[in-house]
Amino acid sequence: MSVAGGAVHLRAPAKINLALRILGRRADGYHELETLFQAVGLHDVLRLERTDAPGLELVVEGADVGPVHENLVWRAAQAFFAELGQPAQGVLLHLEKRIPAGAGLGGGSSDAAATLRGLQALFSTELPHPRLHAIGAALGSDVPFFLGSSGLALGTGRGEVLKELEPHEPRALVLGLPQVACGTAAMYGALARRRAEQGQGSAAAMQGGSSSAAQPRTLLPLTHPFDRAAADALACNDFEPVAMELHPSIAQALNGLREEHAVPALLSGSGSAVFGFAPTAADAERIATRLSAQVADVDFVATTTLARLPGPDITFRG
Ligand code: C5P
């Protein structure tokens, strides 16, 4: 695949967590977790274009996501060229942000994965998947999921150890997007304080971890077949009580979805976004319109789950 002088564009989809169990804190400060990642249709758009000027240029449109050099797109591109052992070549990266930041939807992580996929296509490099995975994991715990192919995967470790699952048929859902951002590290801290107050020390939090001599208990058992109903039976998010307490708009959004029977309805990641499933796309649209009018400070949008993660599209050849 050669696109010398050309451009590549990619959709960088958001994810939701159909289930998220947080286990114990590790020596490196991260938490062991078990999660079911599911890609959804809401996406950012990334365009990569080769330029004559050496070095990287990043333009972000659609949201204020902080300094360019801290953006995961920028960091992913730097890491990519470092892995190749060469200075960054001339690339213009244009990111159109549609996925809100601090929402638990993995927007920044998906952008980073799209950058790595896009650079591979743009420069016809063939870094093997384990190397891309390692670059992704160093950038963020959710990045490796977005480098995979199935839209549904079980994540363990700190989220970067993946088992891809047979994707389910696309399914309609409503995303609730409260106008508050939940910082991931801050939410882990809040969860730890809540567990300490409730007397759930590290032993309790380590359920399923390596504290006992017995085989680790899997909190998210994957039945065969692992169909929608089986996934729905596991629906849970350990951050949910903390997020609802900290931000009333999250509680209102979840209550709204449940009153509309958009179930299961859950928090995504460490928040602030929530989601609920609807029987059809038309139901999802109707619920999103109704709840957007009813729930203050929350936008609701209809989307669907994705069976597959999208790959790069070559938009022209030079
Ligand atoms: O890996 P990522 O950059 O997304 O993590 C952001 C922060 O969230 C980490 O610095 C850590 O504080 C927390 N975190 C964690 N355990 C995880 C994932 C993230 O404690 N499994």
Average the pLDDT over 123-151 and give the result: 97
Whether a cis peptide bond, with omega within 30° of 0, leads into 128 is no
Helix axes 248-259, 281-294, angle to 10 degrees: 140
Radius of gyration of the chain (CA): 20
Beta-carbon contacts of residue 229 (< 8 Å; ≥ 6 apart): none
Helix axes 129-139, 72-84, angle to 10 degrees: 140
DSSP letter string over 190-224? HHHHHHHHTT--HHHHTTTSSSSSSPPPPSS---S
In this structure, what are the phi and psi dihedrals at residue 6, rounded to the nearest 5 degrees? -100, -160
Q: Whose CA is nearest to atom 3 of ligand 1?
A: 140
Which of 23, 25, 32, 141 has most ligand 1 atoms within 8 Å of its beta carbon, as the pocket-test mutant?
141
The response to whether residue 158 sits with its C-beta less than 6 Å from ligand 1 reads: yes
DSSP letter string over 59-91? EEESS--S-GGGSHHHHHHHHHHHHHTSPPP-E
Q: Which letter does DSSP use for residue 305 in this model?
A: B
pLDDT of residue 285: 98
Which of 184, 202, 206, 237 has most ligand 1 atoms within 8 Å of its beta carbon, as the pocket-test mutant?
184
Average the pLDDT over 4-31 and give the result: 93
Of ligand 1's atoms, which has the minimum distance to the CA of residue 142? 4
Instruction: Say what percent of the chain tops pLDDT 90.
Output: 85
The response to whether residue 141 sits with its C-beta less than 6 Å from ligand 1 reads: yes
pLDDT at 210 over 70: no
pLDDT of residue 206: 43
pLDDT of residue 85: 96
Average pLDDT, the chain: 92
pLDDT of residue 54: 87
| Other beta carbons within 10 Å of 120 | 18
pLDDT at 289 over 90: yes
Per-residue pLDDT reduced to its tens digit, 239-253: 999 999 999 999 999
- Higher local confidence (pLDDT), 312 or 221: 221
Give the least confident one: 19-23, 192-196, 201-205, 216-220.
201-205
The answer to whether the beta carbons of residues 103 and 15 sit under 8 Å apart is: no
What is the 238 CA–ligand 1 centroid distance (Å)?
15
- Alpha carbons 69 and 210: distance in angstroms, whole number: 38
Q: Using CA atoms in the order 76, 138, 11, 275, what is the torsion angle rounded to 10 degrees?
A: -140
Q: Catalytic residues, which ones?
A: 15, 142
Token pair for 113: 């994965």
pLDDT at 1 over 60: no
What is the 224 CA–ligand 1 centroid distance (Å)?
31
The response to whether residue 144 sits with its C-beta less than 6 Å from ligand 1 reads: no
- Across-strand partners of 192? none
Average the pLDDT over 90-106 and give the result: 97
Of ligand 1's atoms, which has the minimum distance to the CA of residue 29? 20
What is the 49 CA–ligand 1 centroid distance (Å)?
31
pLDDT at 57 over 80: yes
Average the pLDDT over 11-29 and give the result: 96
- Alpha carbons 184 and 190: distance in angstroms, whole number: 10
pLDDT of residue 51: 94
- Confidence band for 18, pLDDT divided at 50, 70 and 90: very high
Q: Exposed e or buried b for every residue in 260-285, given b needs 16+ CB within 10 A?
A: bebebbbbbbbbbbbbbbbeeeebbb
pLDDT at 94 over 80: yes
pLDDT at 105 over 50: yes
Task: Please provide the size of the chain in residues.
Answer: 318
pLDDT at 298 over 70: yes
What is the 110 CA–ligand 1 centroid distance (Å)?
15
Which of 28, 156, 158 has most ligand 1 atoms within 8 Å of its beta carbon, as the pocket-test mutant?
158
pLDDT of residue 5: 65
